[in-house]
Amino acid sequence: MRIAVEGCMHGDLDTVYKTLQYAETKNNFKIDLLLCCGDFQAVRNEKDLESLNVPRKYRSMNSFWKYYSGEEVAPFPTIFIGGNHEASNYMWELYHGGWAAPNIYFLGFAGVVKFGNIRIGGLSGIYNQRHYHLGHYERPPYNEHTIRSVYHVREYDVHQLLQVEEPIDIFLSHDWPVCITDYGNSEELIRRKPYFKKEVIIEERTLGSVAAAQLLEKLKPPYWFSAHLHCKFSALVQHGEGGPVTKFLALDKCLPGRPFLQILEIESEPGPYEIQYDEEWLAITRSFNSVFPLTGKKTNFGSVDLHVEDSRQWLKSRLQERGAKPFEFVQTVPCYNPSQSVSNHSFSGYPRNPQTVSYLQLLELPYLLDSMPEPKDVSYSPASFIQRGSFSDDSETIPIDDVDELEELAEVDDEEAKE
């Protein structure tokens, strides 16, 4: 099986797909699957831009809307996770995963699927210590605070992934597992990204995600791919003496001359291949749904029914009845039309996605995503919003809101200086 891996998409699907088609023609091979490590930006229309955490003047429709509308079709099956620049309202519709567009599958806030006999797991978002233990209390429309916190990784999602016992072949995270730089050429990384050292990130051993590091230690997948920091970095992680090895690779964002793509071959059963639900993951989802945290309070795992094997036996018969293919893609909002100027007032409400509804019906679980937390469940204190660049136990693991922003602001400053 030949798999292409892409770093930060930033909505530029046209360029990535054309680059891969050129590689197919030049090398006379076929790509079976594309994996994207976040910042996918599945923006369907102008209203989605309001849920995208980027400065307003940099918000752009880019090209995903063409694939959502059907004007274009992804030439390869595509699986992506979320990062910290997403249309978070759409990602929440598909919290459990689903087709964001035909042939383009969102893995969910956390998830595992099969592609042929290859198991692919992923964790969306970036790690932030001060929100990690809270529930998913954010709901669209987002305010200036929740538009950021909505993509912060939650313990609930990580805890579910930590229950996975069967081998994972490939794992995706947006930010890097903390301390992954110990296993690669960190000196070269600092030479290319000197502000990592200036901000004392590596010396403080806070570059990356604590949650991702826990998953790396538990799951020990042969391959782990990340993005977020807009550079290429590789590492080999040996899990104990004589234990399995994880090949880690982080990739750049989609720009000319940048290392944003990698193509690899892995052993697999003969094709054809298709994306399918994973039985173990469905069982874990079903077991944990009773404590699905939807407020700003700390998650209580005390009442979790961890009879996963019993759920698997029940699910096996369910999947034999309908098959393991995900439910069909459904458009839930009008698509962007470049020939028309559409007011946001023409879009009303935040719909339930029929894929999510059907998925939960399959598992015989209630739909909870539009449950609103009580106002008292979400509180903000001065300590929750640390000034940019400051250091504190509550600050971001990367001591700026987003390394992407630091880099992009530097680029803007450079351009303005030239003018």
Pairing of strands 33-36, 2-6: parallel
- Whether 396 has a pLDDT exceeding 60, the answer reads no
pLDDT, residue 201, reads 59
- Whether 395 has a pLDDT exceeding 50, the answer reads no
| Confidence class for position 402, pLDDT limits 50, 70, 90 | very low
> Which range (235-239, 326-330, 377-381) has the least confidence?
377-381
In tens, the pLDDT along 242-281 reads: 999 999 999 999 999 999 999 999 999 998 999 999 999 9
pLDDT cut 70: percent of the chain above it: 85
Q: What is the mean pLDDT of residues 321-342?
A: 93
Contact 357, 367 (CB under 8 A): yes
Q: Which residues contact 192 (CB under 8 A, 6 or more apart)?
A: 231
pLDDT, residue 367, reads 97
In tens, the pLDDT along 3-58 reads: 999 999 999 999 999 999 999 999 999 999 999 999 999 999 999 999 999 999 99
Q: What is the mean pLDDT of residues 352-368?
A: 97
For residue 239, what are the β-bridge partners?
Answer: none
pLDDT, residue 343, reads 54
pLDDT, residue 218, reads 98
- Whether 419 has a pLDDT exceeding 60, the answer reads no
pLDDT, residue 399, reads 32
Burial status of residue 15 (CB atoms within 10 A of its CB: 0-12, 13-18, 19 or more): middle
The candidate with the shortest Cα–Cα distance to 157, out of 351, 291, 9, is 291
Contact 113, 105 (CB under 8 A): yes
The candidate with the shortest Cα–Cα distance to 274, out of 117, 121, 164, is 117
Q: Quick one: tokens of 208?
A: 């990356």
- Whether 143 has a pLDDT exceeding 90, the answer reads yes
Please give the model's pTM, rounded to 2 decimal places: 0.90
In tens, the pLDDT along 200-227 reads: 356 677 889 999 999 999 999 999 999 9
- Whether 97 has a pLDDT exceeding 80, the answer reads yes
| Confidence class for position 198, pLDDT limits 50, 70, 90 | low
In tens, the pLDDT along 179-196 reads: 999 999 988 998 888 877
- Whether 197 has a pLDDT exceeding 90, the answer reads no
In tens, the pLDDT along 282-298 reads: 999 999 999 999 999 99
pLDDT, residue 203, reads 67
- Whether 117 has a pLDDT exceeding 90, the answer reads yes
Q: Please give the radius of gyration of the chain, using alpha carbons only, rounded to the nearest integer.
A: 21
- Whether 410 has a pLDDT exceeding 50, the answer reads no
pLDDT, residue 322, reads 94
